[in-house]
Amino acid sequence: MSSRPELQAPPEIFYNDVEARKYTSSSRIIEIQARITAKLSERAMELLALPDDGVPRLLLDIGCGSGLSGETLSENGHQWIGLDISQSMLDVALEREVEGDLLLSDMGQGLGFRPGVIDGAISISAVQWLCNADKSSHEPRLRLKAFFGSLYRCLARGARAVFQVYPENIAQRELILGFAMRAGFAGGVVVDFPHSTKIRKEYLVLTCGPSSISTALPNGKGEDGESVSDYDNSGDEENQTVCISDRHRPRKKMKITKKGKGREWVLKKKEQMRRKGNAVPLDTKFTARKRKARF
Q: pLDDT by residue (tens digit) across 110-162?
A: 999 999 999 999 999 899 889 877 666 778 899 999 999 999 999 999 999 99
pTM score, whole prediction: 0.68
- Strand (E) positions, 70-179? 79-84, 101-104, 118-124, 155-165
Q: Which band of pLDDT confidence, cut at 50, 70 and 90, is reported for residue 231?
A: very low
Catalogue all structural domains in the chain, each as residue range(s) with its CATH number. 5-245 (3.40.50.150), 259-295 (no CATH)
Nearest to 21 by CA among 88, 109, 84, 78: 88
Measured N-to-C along each axis, helices 17-25 and 27-48 cross at an angle, to the nearest 10 degrees, of: 90
Strand partners, 189: 204, 243
Of 84-93, 131-140, 203-212, 244-253, least confident by mean pLDDT is: 244-253
HSE toward the beta carbon, residue 66, CA cutoff 13 A: 20
Q: Report whether pLDDT(285) > 80.
A: yes
Q: Which band of pLDDT confidence, cut at 50, 70 and 90, is reported for residue 242?
A: very low
Nearest to 147 by CA among 124, 172, 126, 164: 126
pLDDT recorded at residue 241: 41
Higher-pLDDT residue of 160, 229: 160
pLDDT recorded at residue 175: 92
